[in-house]
Structure 1
Amino acid sequence: MRTAVVRTLLCTATFLGPSAAAAFPQAPPPAVSVSVAVTDGLDDTEAGKRLDYRITVHNLGPTVVHRARIEQEMPATTTSATAPGATVEGRGAGGRKVIWRSDLPAHDIQVFRATAVLGDRPDLTATAAPGSLRAAATVCVYVGGSFAPTACSGDLDDMPETHPEGGDGDDWVWWAVGAAAAALFGPGVVRAVRRRTAARR
């Protein structure tokens, strides 16, 4: 008799389970809210300079974000890059990427650091603005293996153009033209002045 009663109770619980779950749905997990900022503390730079980046990631939500992926794309002319606790991808000039993986505790702020050394610009005419080129770095945070970033930020530094070496040659040409003109017309001007002075006397 007890066995029959137990079976009846188990069957009743089995059928009532889904109905009870439907009657009391569980709250969805809180949305992930993360912000990121990156800066090297500079407004302009040039080839050969080392840029020291500070990346600040803030978990604004009430839950831990596990194994977040923080990726930084270095400027296009980067020749070398370092970052403590990160993986650096890419070789040669350009295409350097730094990747960190870290848990982000609730309401916590974490700081990551990276450095990049800039090389020469491949093309002086390919400028983002008249007279300058920009060294751009971007940082994005990815959560849960997603290919879409949860948050991104960027840093831009102007790289003023320098005049090509041929510019100095052009200046010397103009100086030479001026000197030749002075040599040709100088004596004539002196004679004209002397004649006028003599005529007045």
Structure 2
Amino acid sequence: MRTAVVCALLCAATLPGPSAAAYAPKAPPAVSVTVAVTDGADDAESGKRLDYRITVHNLGATEVHGARIEQRMPATTTSATAPGGTVEGHGVGEQKAIWRSDLPAHDIQVFTARAVLGGRSDLAAASAGPAAPGTLRAAATVCVYVGESFAPTACSGDLDDLPETSPEGEGGGWMGWAAAAVAMALLGPGVVRAVRRRRAARAG
């Protein structure tokens, strides 16, 4: 009996048991997502409405649950809408559209948003100072976040040129008067002498 028990114990000891790897937590599958955004234009102007189209593509073979898609509106945006999503922030330069959605494997989803642009003064207010010449742009960025991560999985942007026009009443009037005054100062004496010569010639 003892021999049989010992043999059973020895045989059990030599049999392969479940490896530690079988109990190790499995790593989540890699997420492969791309995003693109466009408003179909290359330039914009004050008061214009920009219609954005955001395309999110899940390239992976597994579904992504609870993805967060965020779009930051251009700095001069005065109002924005995001069908199917929400808009946070109400001040100029602070508005952001947010959507939450599951992304099925190999699926493409499209989101839309609208932004109405303000003027140059709105850009100055958003940047806490005057905009430098040649830097006027309407820039929108979109990022996709997976889970509760603060690091985006994918990002994209759209950039439109804004016309560079001098603000009304800023510099244009006084600069014109200054130029006229300089011209009069330079040409005035010559004009006076010419008039005097003509009068002297007629009198003679």
**1:131 and 1:168, CA in 2 relative to 1: closer, same or farther beyond 3 A?**
farther
Is contact 2:80-2:115 (8 Å) kept? Answer: yes
Amino acid of the structure 2 residue aligned with 1:167: G
Unaligned runs of 5+ in 1: 1-11, 196-201
Q: 1:171 to 1:90 in 2, by over 3 A?
A: same
- 1:27-38, aligned counterparts within 5 Å? 28-38=27-37
TM-score with structure 2 length normalisation?
0.73
User: What pairs up with 1:133-148 in 2 under 5 angstroms?
Assistant: 133-148=136-151
Deviation at 1:180, TM superposition (A): 6.6
Q: One-letter code of the match for 1:80?
A: S
1:65/1:106 contact within 8 Å kept: yes
- Take 2:174 and 2:23, find their aligned partners in 1: how far apart are those partners? 84
Partner of 1:121: 123
Unaligned runs of 5+ in 2: 1-11
Aligned residues: 180
Q: Within 5 Å, which residues of 2 pair with 1:61-72?
A: 61-72=60-71
Q: What residue number does 1:102 align with?
A: 101
**Aligned residue number for residue 8 of structure 1:** none
CA distance in 2, matches of 1:181, 1:23: 94
One-letter identity of the residue aligned with 2:81 = T
Q: Percent identity?
A: 67
Residues in 1 aligned to 2:86 and 2:23: alpha-carbon distance in whole angstroms? 45
8 Å contact kept, 1:47–1:121 = no
How much has 1:189 moved relative to structure 2? 3.6
- 1:11-50 equivalence runs, <5 A: 19=18, 22=21, 28-50=27-49
Runs (4+) of structure 1 exceeding 4 A deviation are 23-29, 179-184, 190-195
Query: Residue 28 of structure 1: CA displacement?
Result: 4.7
User: TM-score, normalising length from structure 1?
Assistant: 0.74
Query: Is 1:149 paired with 2:152?
Result: yes
